[in-house]
Structure 1
Amino acid sequence: MMPHELRHEAVKAIKDQKVEFIHLWFTDVLGFLKSFTIDVEELETAMTEGMGFDGSSIQGFARIQESDMIAMPDPSTLQILPWRQKGALVATMFCDIVKPDGSPYEADPRYVLKRNLARAAEMGYTFFIGPELEFYYLKSEQEPLPLDRATYFDQTTRDLAVDLRKDTVRALKRFGIQVEYSHHEVGPSQHEIDLRYREALTMADAVMTYRVVVKEIAQMNGVYATFMPKPLFGEAGSGMHVHQSLFKDGKNAFYDPEDEYHLSASAKAYIAGILAHAREICAVTNQWVNSYKRLVSGYEAPVYICWAHRNRSALVRVPMYKPGKEAATRIELRSPDPACNPYLAFSVMLAAGLDGIERGLELPPDVTDDVYEMSERERASRGIEQLPEDLYEALKEMEASDLVRRALGDQVFEWFLRNKTTEWHEYRTRVTPWETEKYLPLL
């Protein structure tokens, strides 16, 4: 369907359903959802001319002397909110951010992903993503107390969290987001809702919507949902394992029927690219100080840079091939967390994998042993490196990476480094309750 036809269909759908307001959504560089609301009478103007706003007030966007920005709604993203707001029916659309002359704005995270997808398309590929987002339900944002003491796949009865998950799945389906399944995770009151594989841009939009829906349903029921990577000391952190594959000419480019593990040469080179750049892209896939309290050995979080079939201690896992399911051949990157900016995270993953394909990188042998149980000497002898141990180390790796700079573009790359360096400095110089409790009585 042509753009003008999509716009016409969107306007018609909104008026037919008697929608009163439309939330226009976009994302700042850190991955926070931004929104402003228009009345239905302004819809046609917004769809054809866009809506202007001050970009200098958005994290990572324009400097004040070049602050005029325009949000152009993408009619293909139109959805009706599955709940009414004070009786009003409300719709949502994601926007692309453009300059006054109509050209794409380089710091718009959605454009960053579009640009990387265009590069994949030039090589003949379409990028598909399937994320597994974990999160915690807590009693409140001030009181990090879980609602239950259940663990992985536990079946609980008369449980508020089970009802919250079901209500969330229903809401996601009304947003047009297909859910594969949901379940209790390892931590107390930790849960996971897995999304059906989709093209990467659509999935990045879906991840942003998912986070809103999870939090909204929780708030409606008097509890708090958090995607913080490590909200509870001594318990499992929340990850976002990302299943990914490339399709070419309508077929899965990662599948090879002749290979022992049904992995094509492109898939192996893609994995090799991910491994080669794993330390460089970590600041983007795990962008918070708190992210590195999840990336520690002992909590099933991936720390060591290697790959394996079915071995969940490896950074990259290749799920078992099922006969007749060639389209499902994929790789799973296990390090990202659900608090990242999905547009940027998917961009750097794709850039790393494509670099592996372009350079024909050779995939090292897979690891069959539990990497956590190996000694440092054993890991060194196998060439198994470790992810950065904190945000500062990750930023230093990113700063030296030409690949990440190209993937994000100069403006996003430099702003992200500045912002995250400030975050690290604030964290490093702050005196924590742990230090006061431990040292004050002694020193």
Structure 2
Amino acid sequence: MGKSGEILQMCRDKGIEMIDFKMTDLDGRWRHITIPAARFSEEIFTYGIGFDGSNYGYAPVEKSDMVFIPDPATAFIDPFVEIPTLSMTGDVCMIGEKENRPFDQYPRNVSLRAAEYMRQTGIADEMVIGPEFEFHILDEVRFQVEPKAGFYSVETRQAQWNSGRDDGYNTGYQIPSKGGYHIAAPGDIHYNLRSRMCMTLEEWGVKVKYHHHEVGGAGQMEIEVELGEMVDMADKTMITKYVVKNMAARAGKTATFMPKPVYKEAGNGMHVHMLLKKDGKPVFYDENGYSGLSRTALYFIGGLLKHAASLCAFTNPSTNSFKRLVPGFEAPVTIGYATSNRSAVIRIPAYAKAPEAKRFELRCPDATANPYYAYAAILMAGLDGIENDTDPQANGWGPYDFNLYDLPKEQRQQIRSLPKTLDEALDALEEDHEYLLKGQVFPERLIHIWISRKREEARRIAEIPHPAEFLQYYDL
């Protein structure tokens, strides 16, 4: 039985009537196209589904025809549609005269090439990662950007600002600002919804480690998943965001992964835990090394810290990202590493003691990132550190086993800082991206497209009058 036969057999067994193909655009959003199951054939795995890539942010219009090749291993019944529908993701190819070829800008192809480059170096044959997904569940969101008006408003009944609400429904169990960490019911009003999200993720093949209410009192949540292979985990990052948003909508709520949707509250990060394996054995462990880390692990850290500023262009690619990366909210602002220190951009968990669990986390990323680009860039930066024996201690990047927020100003200024704006991150990427080009993992053209696109975003947003400017300047 061929690939199509297996899919059609699944359709018959499950009563599937439609087949949906989900593709990732340049920014990291899913887009999709759907065909009746009766139109599905083996040829789709060879010739694919044609679409216009220019509308996805990739190619110029004159060379925009592309084909999507579905991956049958990703087939899953979409739980959020009315008509029984089988969903598949896959890869994108350029149309050639004789045969199609993988499209070098397509996010999943970039991450696949990064994993292949890692294997070619001989350093490791698998990168294992585990993202932490922080997000907000809100009752309502309103926003408007017009020449005559600009505002946003978020609302959730659990927020402290509703403690004086007089509408007959006030229970008095609002959560204080920054007081939501692991809060229990009845304050944690979305516990059951998160459990339903996690069960749906488990059914879709995303293994959940745990879920809980996060620090932000105004509806901040976290779902942490078990570690997995990098490309597979990028796929599962897309699935996780899809499930969270749709489960919230089904419950009459709205969910956002925006880094900083609520002023003066903790922001949403996507901390990435990571380790390398070779022949099934851990590469990062050495019982005699700092915090149990091998020299290879420390060089990997050195590569991440060396390229931290340019990495932010992919791991924190929104203007809103840098409203989260400020002191006082457990988000990193300085470039350094340490054990059990949440103020450092790289944190080594003290609880991960076993050789197979020895790892560290990069704490700056957030979920506005395209996960395929972000995870691939992280891997390439770390590999560059190993290839060049980049020692983080010798370069003065730590270990910082103390609270970096409490340093006197003079000492703080001597430590390299993460970019403070998206433009600063893009400046860094312009100057420092050779490590991404190795093995043709990131095409240089993709780097240029990314910088141009993100600069235009930053320029457009910077031009819009801000409500805080009226507060600050209106009466001058």
- TM-score w.r.t. the length of structure 2 is 0.88
Q: Is the 8 A contact 2:380 2:436 kept in 1?
A: no
Tell me the CA shift for residue 405 of structure 1: 4.9
- Given residue 425 of structure 2, which amino acid in structure 1 is its aligned partner? A
Select 1:144's aligned residue among 151, 154, 165: 154
Aligned residues: 433
Give the superposition deviation at 1:23: 1.5
What aligned pairs does 1:12-411 form with structure 2 within 5 A after superposition?
A: 12-44=9-41, 45-59=43-57, 61-83=58-80, 85-86=81-82, 88-101=83-96, 102-124=100-122, 125=124, 126-142=126-142, 143-149=153-159, 150=175, 151-157=180-186, 160-188=189-217, 189-259=219-289, 261-322=291-352, 325-364=354-393, 365-381=398-414, 384-403=415-434, 405-406=436-437, 407-411=441-445
C-alpha distance in 2, partners of 1:212/1:322? 30
In 2, Cα distance between equivalents of 1:194 and 1:5: 36
8 Å Cα contact 1:24/1:92 also seen in 2:
yes
Distance 2:128 2:324 in 1: 26
Which secondary structure state, in structure 2, belongs to the residue aligned with residue 423 of structure 1? helix
Secondary structure of the 2:19 match is: strand
Moved more, 142-151 or 48-57: 142-151
On the 8 A contact 2:348/2:361 being kept in 1, the answer is yes
Partner Cα separation in structure 2 for residue 438 and residue 385 of structure 1 = 31
Structure 1 residues 100-126: Cα deviation after superposition (integer angstroms, max 9, x where no partner): 131100110111111111101112321
Deviation digits for residues 243-290 of structure 1 (CA, Å, limit 9, x no counterpart) = 011110111111123435221111010001001100111111000011
CA–CA distance in 2 between the matches of 1:32 and 1:380? 37
The whole-number CA distance in structure 2 between the counterparts of 1:11 and 1:123 is 40
Note if 1:429 corresponds to 2:429: no
RMSD: 1.7
Distance in 2 of aligned mates of 1:148 and 1:105: 46
Q: Percent identity?
A: 36
Larger mean Cα displacement after TM superposition, 361-370 or 169-178: 361-370
User: What is the identity, as a one-letter code, of the residue corresponding to 1:129?
Assistant: I
Correspondent of 2:447 among 408, 413, 421: 413
Task: Give the deviation of 1:145 after TM superposition.
Answer: 1.2
> 1:17 deviation in Å?
1.6
Deviation at 1:347, TM superposition (A): 1.0
C-alpha contact 2:20 2:86 (8 A) present in aligned 1: yes
What is the alpha-carbon distance in structure 2 between the residues aligned to residue 303 and residue 129 of structure 1?
Answer: 22
Give 1:305 shift.
0.4
Question: Residue 322 of structure 2 contacts residue 421 of structure 2 at CA under 8 Å; is this kept in 1?
Answer: yes
Cα offset, 1:7, TM superposition: 5.5
Cα distance in 2, alignment partners of residues 69 and 341 from structure 1: 20
Shift of 1:82: 2.8
Alpha-carbon displacement from aligned partner over 1:295-339 (angstroms, at most 9, x marks no partner) = 10111110110000111111101112555x321111100000111
Q: List per-residue Cα deviations over 1:391-425 (Å, max 9, x = no partner).
A: 11111111111336515312221111111111111
Q: Distance in 2 between matches of 1:255 and 1:8?
A: 45
Inter-CA distance 95–366: structure 2 relative to 1 (3 Å threshold): same
For the residue of structure 1 that corresponds to 2:223, the secondary structure is strand
State the alpha-carbon separation in 1 of the partners of residues 451 and 3 from structure 2: 38
Provide the secondary structure at the position in 1 that maps to 2:154. Answer: coil
Alpha-carbon distance change, 221 to 337 in structure 1, aligned in 2, over 3 angstroms: same
